[in-house]
Structure 1
Amino acid sequence: MSNRGFDLADRVAARRDAALYRDLAPVDRVAERSYFAPDPGVGLPVLDGRQHLVFASNNYLGLTQHDRVQEAASQAAEVVGTGAGSSRLVTGDTLVHRDLEMQLSEVNGTDRALAFSSGYAANVGTIAALSPDVVFSDELNHASIVDGCRLSGADVVVYDHCDADSLREELTHRAETHPATESWLVVTDSVSSMDGTVAPLGAICDAAEAFGAWVMVDEAHATGLYDHGGGIVQREGLADRVHVQMGTLSKALASQGGYVAGSEALVEYLVNTARSFVFSTGLAPPAAAAASEALHITRHGECRDRLWSNVAHLRAGLVDLGYHVWGDSQILPVVVGDRVDALALAEAVRERGVVAPAIRPPTVPEGTSRLRVVPMATHSKADIETCIEAFRAAGEEVGLL
């Protein structure tokens, strides 16, 4: 009898041999300090006895532990329920969802916003629903954008990372070789999750407008961190030039889910055609309420200023040590190059009480393995200094400094 199954043990072994294996690392809390546990597999985690400083989280503003955010989630669970119970097109559309979407539309300067169960679902569902003939995609766009392009059936034209001139060249070539009746969508992350680079959105809009293309911007790593709780689109004053603004609730907004903001017509269309919205249970009410309160805090509080102060402090310290630090945002990739060196540095840093995991190919290109270092607004100045000292001692130990 033929065996038409899958030898998964061999596949896992191959990943180990190629230094590509990853495992889970359970923690006791999502905050700037946590106790970790080795991956137990099917068993229950047993936490280590030592607490570590976390410089690897997307909880940029540290709001997961904020009392107002937790209280908002608790009240929503008590009053509305712990889960939406169904698709929002059935009975899962609650007042909590509508309050969140109203705030998101205000922050993004759009007619409406629509919350999805995840940022991944927002990207995949939106791009597939728009079904463009052509997508012009930044070469380092997030996997959810890549998968949305695949599901849409569009021709995908990749342009150089954060390079508006490269985009314009690709737009020009396509215009010269294909019918003017095609629908075009330009898609980019505003902040690259692994490189920390910021896309030149103004120049991208200029290039797209010259050819009548729509622009979609993924603000996952910018949502909540810039002007009045917005992203790079708001910082650059481009809300009226970006047709589709996408963001997440699971990073700076300390919750779960994603959203799309844009015109009334866009949201109505997605409500009716985005399969990841139509066929998913609605965002859990406590998650929606937590994100709504977090958004209110970042719009009116000082946490954003504390984050950027910590970013400047940590970047300066790492550069002064001699590390090569990329990016123009809160994401500080300490680029080592060799994957083995990156793993060794991450382990040596961890031994000194700081968690900043190594990022290796295929997540990043060969020769650019790095530690993705991210401070939070809730880190103290002493925490930042502890991180810098850990990188100094670890770098000397493994021979990188």
Structure 2
Amino acid sequence: MSGDTDAAPADRTRSTTDRGFDPKARLAEREQRGLRRDLTPVAEVTARTPIADDPKGDPVAFDGPEQLLFATNDYLGLACDDRVQRAAAETAREVGTGAGASRLVTGDTLTHRALERDLADTKEAERALVFSSGYATNVGVIAALGPDVVFSDELNHASIVDGCRQAGAETVVYDHCDPSDLRGKMDERASRSQSTGDESWLVLTDSVFSMDGDVAPLADICDTVEAFGAWLLVDEAHATGLYEDGGGIVQREGLSDRVHVQMGTLSKALGSQGGYVAGSEALIEHLLNAARSFVFSTGLTPPAAGAAREALRIAREDDTHRDRLWENVRRLRDGLEDAGFEVWGETQILPVVVGDREDAMALDARLRDHDIVAPGIRPPTVPEGTSRIRVAPMATHTETEIDRCLTAFREAGHELNLL
């Protein structure tokens, strides 16, 4: 055994080749393109709250006025509902604040199972499975199904796009909400090769599109999917909880038995966190074994599951929040159109289309001057020439607050010569 303590240190010569990264340069490039984003902390997750400028790593200071939020996906205003908060607190006390492990290890609690039973009942499916986020749900489910070919609406959410990439499938993009184009592309694929009879095909679409606020023609899409013996996945993230019995567009249209995979989130109208997938018993059993974002993630926190279950119960049993939401949507849409703005969509998402990206971002800033927060959306999130303000009312906005929003839009629109 050597007692020599004076051995030469290991060679620490630094390479002259730089294979690292330059975050500052990347940020500067994003800034130059007008795509730099900053965090803006809010004091509360409500329809009205003070908002702070991004403090970076420093403490947050709320020293400005209260602002009205028309930018949240908490459509029913349940994130701050006393009943939902109590459910989260009670679950934390009874079960714990975290699942502690993957659901396949020790993270599978009675709270998760109860929520999944209620989701399956709501979605008229045999079974449901909850994930840690909606993003993780789409990526995990699409990759686990492993289709040979996917047919995807051109405006599908980024989580669907990334799921297609993870699956490594050949991706065919069809025109937005166009079943005829979908059928044409499926026809073309079917006639291109004799071997396609052995391929697995998956058609992917949002039900409510988050930026345009429109609704996919699901019945016609089902007809097309069935004509080719394919499968259909419908993302109900922006629809879950907003229709009768807490369902989405799939339930509203009576299509539960024609959609193979129903996906949704717990983080929007249900005011909690997480995502879910609903379908057949065999599908769920396959996914809990093969969806990597489920298998290798700690289970959804029990308080989030408890809160989502209570929010779902409210959405199913009490029409009050839903009725208030749709009345606020009607009031806002009518007022914006009467003022001279172009408003797209047919749902609770109201895209006020301005066109030019600079005009949209100027309107965003001017609305904030009026203490109204409604985000400007620009390319690449939306196509060139369709920059917009995305307005999302909540059930908890009062008539007075809706009128304040409309006044701010009218005044800002005239100040910027957009009206």
TM-score range, shorter chain: over 0.9
What CA distance in whole angstroms lies between the structure 1 residues aligned with 2:179 and 2:368? Answer: 39
Q: Secondary structure at the match of 2:390?
A: strand
Matches within 5 A, 1:322-341: 322-341=340-359
Following TM superposition, the consecutive aligned residue runs of length 4 or more in structure 1 with deviations greater than 3 angstroms are none
The equivalent of 1:171 in structure 2 is: 186
State the secondary structure of the residue aligned to 2:300. Answer: coil
Aligned-partner Cα distance in 2 for 1:44–1:189: 38
Is 1:348–2:363 an aligned residue pair? no
Specify the alignment match of 2:292 in structure 1: 275
Instruction: Find 2:260's aligned residue among 238, 243, 247.
Output: 243
Q: Partner of 1:171: helix, strand, or coil? A: helix
SS in 2 for 1:90: coil
Counterpart in the other structure of 2:241? 224
Query: SS of the counterpart of 1:63?
Result: coil
CA-to-aligned-CA distance 1:220-276 (integer Å, 9 cap, x gap)? 000100121010000000000000000000000000000000000000000111000
Please state if 1:57 is matched with 2:75.
Answer: no
Give yes or no for the alignment of 1:299 onto 2:316: yes
Aligned to 1:98: 113
Kindly provide the CA deviation profile for residues 14-65 of structure 1, in whole angstroms up to 9, marking residues without a partner as x. 1111111111110011110011000011111111330001000000000011
2:169 is the counterpart of 1:154: yes
Tell me which residue corresponds to 2:6: none
Distance (whole Å) between structure 1 residues aligned to residue 212 and residue 337 of structure 2: 16
Task: String of CA shifts for 1:93-126, please: whole Å, max 9, x gaps.
Answer: 0000011000000000000000000000100000
| Residue 400 (structure 2) aligns with | 382
1:22 partnered with 2:37: yes
Structure 2 residue ranges without an equivalent (≥5):
1-15
Is contact 2:48–2:66 with CA below 8 Å preserved after alignment? yes
- Cα root mean square deviation, aligned: 0.6
CA distance in structure 2 between the aligned counterparts of 1:204 and 1:44, rounded to whole angstroms: 50
Alpha-carbon contact 2:52-2:64 (below 8 Å) kept: no
Which residue in the other structure is 1:82 paired with? 97
Match for residue 209 of structure 1 among 226, 233, 239:
226
- Whole-angstrom distance in 1 between the partners of 2:416 and 2:41: 27
1:143 maps onto 2:158 in alignment? yes
2:282 to 265, 271, 288: 265
Higher Rg of the two aligned structures? 2
* 336-345 or 240-249: bigger deviation: 336-345
Q: Partners in 2 of 1:357 and 1:154 — Cα distance?
A: 34
Provide the C-alpha distance between the structure 1 equivalents of 2:72 and 2:135, rounded to a whole number of angstroms.
18
CA distance in 1, matches of 2:223, 2:81: 40
- Partner SS, residue 71 of structure 2: coil
Match of 2:13 in 1: none
One-letter amino acid of the structure 1 residue matched with residue 208 of structure 2: V
Match of 1:252 among 269, 276, 288: 269
AA partner of residue 374 (structure 1): A
CA distance in 2, matches of 1:328, 1:163: 16
Cα distance in 2 for partners of 1:12, 1:336 equals 27
Q: Which amino acid in structure 2 is aligned with residue 68 of structure 1?
A: R
1:128-155, CA deviations, whole angstroms, 9 ceiling, x for partnerless residues?
Answer: 0000000000001111100110111110
* TM-score (structure 1 length as normaliser): 0.99
2:197 maps to which residue? 180
Name the residue aligned to 1:115: 130
* Cα distance in structure 1, aligned partners of 2:303 and 2:74: 17
CA–CA distance in 2 between the matches of 1:364 and 1:9?
Answer: 26
**1:309-328 maps to which residues of 2 (within 5 A)?**
309-328=327-346
Please give the per-residue CA displacement for 1:187-224, whole angstroms capped at 9, x wherever unaligned. 00001111111000000000000000100000000010
Q: SS state of the match for residue 180, structure 1?
A: helix
Paired letter, 2:285 = E
Distance in 1 between residues matched to 2:276 and 2:172, nearest whole Å: 25
Output one character per residue of 1:380-400: Cα deviation in whole Å (capped at 9) or x when no partner.
111111100000000011110
Matched position secondary structure for 2:40: coil
Q: CA–CA distance in 1 between the matches of 2:368 and 2:178?
A: 36
Determine helix, strand or coil for the equivalent of 2:172. strand
Residue 357 of structure 1 and its aligned partner are, at CA, apart by 1.2
TM-score (norm: length of structure 2): 0.95
Is the Cα–Cα contact under 8 Å of residues 212 and 351 in structure 2 kept in the other structure? yes
Query: Aligned letter for 2:73?
Result: N
Aligned equivalent of 1:367? 385
State yes or no: 1:35 paired with 2:81. Answer: no
Instruction: Pick the aligned partner of 2:410 from 389, 392, 395.
Output: 392
Task: Provide structure 1 residue ranges, at least 5 long, that are not aligned to the other structure.
Answer: none
| Structure 1 position 328, deviation (Å) | 1.0
- Partner secondary structure for residue 246 of structure 1: strand
